[in-house]
Amino acid sequence: MSRRLLLVGASLLAVLAVAPSGARAQARGSAFPTVFINAKSEQGQFKGAFRVRRFRARGPGLAVFGRLSGRLRDSRYPRSVRVRNRPFSFDVTAGPPAGATTCARLAIVFVGRTAPVVGLAATFAPRTFVLRPRRGTGPSTGELLCGTSTALAANAPPAVTEHLLNALRLQYA
């Protein structure tokens, strides 16, 4: 029994050591289409969640639109300020994750940006998470992930990629 626990613990440590920080943060409990996100202000920080509502083509690339919720703690306010369902967006890039052995993996990267949150400039670092088929969803999720990966590899127009990413969002919701 203890040998089995030791093997499981060693495996988890190996996975966490190899996983990029964005993937490690995603493993702490974010479930797409909700992504946990942090930002730093000049004298504090924001911790919360971003609920993905839709992907859209914006300029030559893609963007994700959704709702930002959480708490901003900053020394310029007497107490923490609650942020509720604030409309928000990020530019995104998507593609296969490094070292992927199957087409049924897709890395979505939120590009870092600085934006006002409750009137204060907050800097959001880039955030990466990897989509993979979920248990119990059947083969359709894997096929949709493979189709999206193939479209991205073939440099499909942003409108096609937008449609596929929105289908994935609905699949995971």
pLDDT one-digit tens code per residue, 22-63: 443 344 445 788 999 999 999 999 999 999 999 999 988 899
Whether 77 maps to a domain, the answer reads: yes
Contacts of 117 (CB under 8 A, 6+ apart): 39, 41, 46, 68, 72, 83, 86
Whether 55 maps to a domain, the answer reads: yes
Give the number of domains in the chain: 1
What is the Rg, in whole angstroms, of the alpha carbon atoms belonging to the chain? 18
Whether 12 maps to a domain, the answer reads: no
- Check: CB of residue 145 under 8 Å from CB of residue 103: yes
Whether this prediction's pTM lies above 0.85 is answered by: no
Whether 84 maps to a domain, the answer reads: yes
Whether 1 maps to a domain, the answer reads: no
Q: Which domain holds residue 25?
A: 20-172
Residue 30: the pLDDT is: 55
Residue 111 and residue 32: Cα distance in Å, rounded? 17
Mean pLDDT, residues 157-169:
91
Q: Mean pLDDT in the chain?
A: 82
Residue 69: the pLDDT is: 96
- Check: CB of residue 70 under 8 Å from CB of residue 81: no
Whether 27 maps to a domain, the answer reads: yes
Whether 14 maps to a domain, the answer reads: no
Whether 2 maps to a domain, the answer reads: no
- Per-residue burial over 41-68, b = 16 or more CB atoms within 10 Å of its CB, e = otherwise: beebebebbbebbebbeeeeebbbebbb
Mean pLDDT, residues 103-127:
94
Query: What percentage of the chain reaches a pLDDT higher than 70?
Result: 83
- Check: CB of residue 65 under 8 Å from CB of residue 58: no
| From 3-7, 50-54, 78-82, the region with the lowest mean pLDDT | 3-7
Residue 111 and residue 92: Cα distance in Å, rounded? 6
Mean pLDDT, residues 132-160:
87
